[in-house]
Amino acid sequence: MFLGCFKNQKYYRCKPELGVSPSIVSRRISEIESHFGLSLFNKRQNGYFLTEAAKNILSLVEETERNINYIERKIVGYNTESKKIVKIELPELLGQYLIFPALKNFQETHPNIKFDISNDIRNSKLATRSSDIVVRMSMPSSGAYKAKKIGEVSQSLFCSKNYFNRFGSPKSKDELINHYLIGWDDGYQTIPLSKWFLDIKGDAEYWIKTSNFNSQLQAVKSDLGIGVLPHFINFDSTLVPVLDEIDPLTSEVWLLRNIETQSLGYVGDVFDFIEKVIKERL
């Protein structure tokens, strides 16, 4: 409940995640604060924010949550009649365009396996017992995971056919200043893809800045401008490559398995499935 309030910042946003009403969340947080004799949240009009005392225990609470979730998954793993849950972290778009379309066949052959999937453009910390399987766009440098490289993803500039018909395509990087560009907002300027686009566009300004791949993809498909997208998005050739003489940004794809799940055969089935799908579709 403490983590639910921290992640959502408002009690009423916790209801879908915690399954209880905001009043119950508020009461239980107050009980915890009363029990320990300290305040966990600074309550403001725009949300609930951690006090210094709460920040000091946040990592311990997160680790406890991971351990509890791991114990639950471990127990379920040895129960042959129960549903198995596999927690997976996937890069944004790779899951939607490569993994999800192939899940139907896996669902038919493994009906007792359920998934808890998170998608993000940024890599999360490889905390022990956090996820069973992780797909990353770079080689991991730490974490209790066994890793193997399973492919590469190329990313380049694209626009829609309607945009191309209206505005044409730049003949050089210098002409990007005359086009509508779609890129990452300021909080994502350090990720490799954002840095690659910043180097190419030079003094040209973004017309739209977003914090996720899906928004950029929809903006490009809606004829709003030029954006950087992975090549596997354009499997049906509905988009037009832009400045394709520029070397694409190529990222390695790494598949990781938590070493603590080595004894769980159903996790191995999912691991093998993801590896096969990615190798076939990249």
Q: What is the pTM of this model?
A: 0.72
β-bridge partners, 148: 255
The string of pLDDT tens digits covering residues 16-40 is 444 556 677 677 778 877 887 878 7
Is pLDDT above 50 for 163? yes
Sequence-ordered alpha helix ranges (H) in the chain:
2-8, 15-18, 22-36, 52-77, 94, 103-109, 161-167, 192-201, 213-221, 265-281
Q: Give the SS3 label for residue 80.
A: coil
Under the banding of pLDDT at 50, 70 and 90, the label for residue 13 is very low
The string of pLDDT tens digits covering residues 186-222 is 888 888 889 999 999 999 999 999 988 999 999 999 9
Place of tokens 């770079």: 138
Q: Give the SS3 label for residue 242.
A: strand
The string of pLDDT tens digits covering residues 221-244 is 999 999 999 999 998 899 999 999
The pLDDT assigned to 33 comes to 79
The pLDDT assigned to 70 comes to 66
* Nearest-angstrom CA–CA distance, 141 and 138: 9
Is pLDDT above 60 for 2? no
Backbone angles phi, psi at 91, to 5 degrees: -65, 145
Q: Is 252 left (phi over 0), alpha (psi -120 to 50) or beta?
A: beta
Query: Do 150 and 231 touch, CB atoms closer than 8 A?
Result: no
The mean per-residue pLDDT over the stretch 125-135 comes to 74
* Nearest-angstrom CA–CA distance, 35 and 32: 5
The mean per-residue pLDDT over the stretch 138-152 comes to 86
* Nearest-angstrom CA–CA distance, 145 and 254: 11
Is pLDDT above 90 for 80? no
**Domain annotation for the chain: domains and CATH numbers:** 1-64 (1.10.10.10), 152-250 (3.40.190.10)
* Nearest-angstrom CA–CA distance, 16 and 189: 32
The pLDDT assigned to 58 comes to 75
How far lies 90's CA from each of 134, 166, 256, in Å?
A: 6, 35, 11
